[in-house]
Amino acid sequence: MNFKTKARTLASLETKLLNAKIAKMVVFTTDQWRKEKIKILDDIQSHFGNVPLIVRSSCSQEDTLENSNAGRFDSIQHVTKAQIEFSIDQVISSYGVYNAVDEVLVQPMLKNVVMSGVAFSHDPSTCSPYRMINWCDGSDTTLVTGGKAGNLFQIAAHALVPNASKFSKILKLLNELLEFFGGVSLDCEFAVTKTNNKSTLWLLQVRPLVLASNPETDEMQWKRLSDIKARIKEDLNPKPFLLGKTTIFGMMPDWNPAEIIGTRPKPLALSLYRELFTDAVWAYQRDNYGYRDLRSHCIMKSFVGIPYIDVRVSFNSFIPKDLDERIGNILVNYYLSELAENPNLHDKVEFEIVWSCFTFDLSKQLKKLTQVGLSSSDQSSISSSLCKLTNEILDPVHGLWIKDSQKLEKLRLRREQIINSKLSKVDCVYWLLEDAKRYGTLPFAGLARAAFIAVQMLKSLVRVGIISENDYERFMESVSTVSSKMEMDFFNLNKNNFLSNYGHLRPGTYDINSPRYDEDPNQYFDWVHNKVKPSPTEPFKLTVSQSKKINTLLIANSIKINATQLIDFFRNAIEFRELAKFEFTRNLSDALSLVTEIGLDYGLSREDLSYCDIRSLKEMHVSFSDDIAFLKQNSDYGRQNYSETCKIALPPLIVKSEDVLAFEWPESEPNFITQKQITASIVDFKDRRSLRNAIVCIPNADPGFDWLFNCSIAGLVTAWGGSNSHMAIRANEKGLPAVIGAGRLLFDRCSAAQRINLDCLSRKVEIL
């Protein structure tokens, strides 16, 4: 079969479909409507009587192999007999230029709709043969097509779904349609009605799905996913030197790669993140701060280039090193089961699942462990270990975070020596990254741990009723980070001086293709019209009553600082974390600039270099060979592998190996920042001229997006990011309403909207 107009395609399927029904139709051309209007109205009346109708477009300009033009032309629902003539005229008018062969399709409105949506035979983003069902429960058939709501189920072409699944009939329909149309990629609209406990699937529309490139075969996809599944099945087994009987893989827990480098980073970005953090540095930091020694355990794995955190390794690293192994093992298994049962918490494990430090409600929280066999004595052991660990971090004189903050100056001094030396470019890259690890990312990891502890303890003060949510917001707004200093400097400094301080920043910190501020300053800043003086922040102080209550609890739990010192720690930990990030990213950014220059010397573009592994540059530092051939070979190899990465889709959380074959995209539990409400237009961050007073959508909470805060934006929505991420801290600091870590589904809906209402207090996002 070949695709025709919407109406004629449905008519050709009407008597052939086995897995769905097509509602009765009256179809006519615009020419017939001009000449035979009364006869057509009589036909509609005789076919349908007085039931509510839908008048649908069936224009020759839509549903073609080149363009779908989905939603371009009108379709009008719930049309009564009195409205039918006007509605038909309105649909024809939406076609624009008159074409005698354009059609109109009239059908009865379906009754008792319980589910509706859109199904694809292929994933438009990967062009791979994933069957995708975007659906919504309820009677409104426009929620999914209108982008207002919808869940998403995704399954590989050869994967099996039980007949009892709510998707089984829709998948059978997709496969039947593929057979009819010779395997041409397609999408269809469907609805499910239910009468007397009997469900009926209705096909509302089917059209060709326009893809950016030719899809790979079902067999190629199956081979790749089967290999990933087998690897994950092995990793789920118990492992020596690790507590916990299984594991989970997640894109957002702990070192959250989805937020930092994205879900499909290029090989250079992925290898840099491994080099600077997830191969070794992270474990050294946890060990230094009093947790179990996980050295030699890589916390991040990648499946055909898609990065995941090994959550068992992560949860092991939050167990105090002096805690009995029996208790630690039960704790890790408890954490894993909690995450498996609450996947929406995948970006909040340190706040909602794990106990990694003392909090003011710790004893109450630990009582949950009675259900997994940990006695009151065991709970006391956990509390004692966490209090001891917290004391060593909080100490106002010898605290671990103080030693880490002092390393930043050494990083600055050594960076100047490296940049001003006569080292080769390759050697400079090597030393910039080595120093970034020793004096940058290692102390940053420690300061980030301190900042997490600060926020955990601060939030627990809200939970026990000593401070209010408003107090929490006032404290966060009073924090003065390097980013707020950048805002003030943008107002006060001239262009050259500003860029000498902040020019190394770039959106996508690890992405060599992303220009630095000083490489394309006019892309990021309006140096003439957009200079708004930042408002001074109000200092935060505890009341006398609050201080007394905190001191009482600190003494009762043997925490060896007072309330004033605690608030100072909260502020210092958060501010120094942001400063450490600012400093180590300068080393990273300078290294990427030098890599760009090396590429130019060898005839390689930034894009070519983005497919290289940073280990190839390190190898050039220690080996003498044909560097040009070696680097080109590495780039070609990375490009080939990355083409495989772009063909697969995996869920944000993998609990069992079968999840790689079929999964629902979970609705995330977004992090709402502030308690404010705002209604504004939605703009993409690239549309710089429209940013003022708009809500901006950005993919992740990367510090390179700090330039946005100079553009008088009204609000912020990020796809990925946790409640303690950089953009969460900045939005809190600015008092800016934001949704951090909206998840793929909500982010896609917001990005496609024209205007939204963001109600942070009620934790709601409404597409207007």
* CATH code for the domain in which residue 748 is found: 3.50.30.10
Number of domains making up the chain: 4
What is the band of 724 on the pLDDT scale with cuts at 50, 70, 90? Answer: low
Last residue within a domain, chosen from 215, 247, 267: 215
Cα-trace Rg, the chain: 29
Nearest Cα neighbor of 449 from 219, 288, 221 is 288
Does 544 fall in a domain? yes
- 208 and 123 in contact (C-beta within 8 Å)? no
Residue 76 main-chain phi, psi, to 5 deg: -120, 125
* Domain-embedded: residue 133: yes
Q: Evaluate whether residue 168 is within a structural domain.
A: yes
The DSSP-derived string for 323-341 is: S-HHHHHHHHHHHHHHHHH
Tell me: do 253 and 396 sit in the same domain: yes
Of the candidates 349, 328, 347, 327, the one whose C-alpha atom is nearest the C-alpha of residue 338 is 349
Nearest to 276 by CA among 581, 701, 577: 581
Q: Which residues face 308 on adjacent strands?
A: 301
529 is known as an active-site residue? no
- 521 found inside a domain: no
Among 63-77, 655-669, 680-694, the range scoring the smallest mean pLDDT is 63-77
pLDDT (tens digit, 9 = 90+) per residue, 165-190?
889 999 999 999 999 999 999 999 99
Q: What is the DSSP letter of 236?
A: T
Q: Is residue 607 part of a domain?
A: no
On whether residue 353 sits in a domain, the answer given is yes
Residues 382, 431, single domain; the answer is yes
The per-residue pLDDT for range 227-280, each reduced to its tens digit, is 999 999 999 999 999 999 999 999 999 998 988 998 899 999 999 999 999 999
Judge whether 560 lies within some domain: yes
Q: Are residues 68 and 115 in the same domain?
A: no
| pLDDT tens, residue by residue, 79-126 | 999 999 999 999 999 998 889 999 999 999 999 999 999 999 999 888
DSSP tag of 371: G
Residues 71 and 141 in one domain: no
Range of the domain at 591: 232-480+539-602
**Given this model, what pLDDT does residue 707 score?**
80
The last residue of one of the domains, among 109, 138, 168, is: 109
Rounded to an integer, what distance in angstroms lies between the CA atom of residue 268 and that of residue 255?
18
Residues 407 and 441: their CA atoms lie apart, in Å, by 10
Does the pLDDT value for residue 708 go beyond 90?
Answer: no
CA distance 222 to 157: 8
Interval 328-351 mean pLDDT: 94
What are the Cα distances from residue 766, in Å, to 635, 673, 682? 44, 16, 12
Residue 148 pLDDT: 63
Given pLDDT bands bounded at 50, 70 and 90, which one contains residue 341? very high
Query: How far is 687 from 689, CA to CA, in rounded Å?
Result: 6
Tens digits of residue pLDDT in 406-431: 999 999 999 999 999 999 999 999 99
Given a cut of 70, is residue 711 above it in pLDDT? yes
Weakest mean pLDDT among 99-113, 387-401, 574-588, 688-702: 688-702
Residue from 122, 297, 346, 726 carrying the catalytic annotation? 726
Q: In sequence order, what E strands does 209-278 have?
A: 249-250
Distances (CA, A) of 216 to 157, 173, 211, 647: 11, 21, 12, 8
Q: Are 146 and 118 in contact (CB under 8 A)?
A: no
The torsion defined by the Cα of 454, 456, 460 and 461, in degrees rounded to 10, comes to 20
Inside any domain, residue 486:
no
Report the candidate in 441, 508, 462, 495 with the shortest Cα–Cα distance to residue 686: 508
Can you tell me whether residue 263 is helix, strand or coil? coil
Q: What is the reported pLDDT for 668?
A: 65
Residue 675 sits in the same domain as residue 698: yes
Residues 115 and 99 occupy one common structural domain: no
Q: Quick: pLDDT tens for 430-481.
A: 999 999 999 999 999 999 999 999 999 999 999 999 999 999 989 988 988 8
The answer, yes or no, to whether residue 381 has pLDDT greater than 90, is: yes
The structure's pTM equals 0.87
Q: Are residues 309 and 427 in the same domain?
A: yes
CA distance 18 to 158: 20
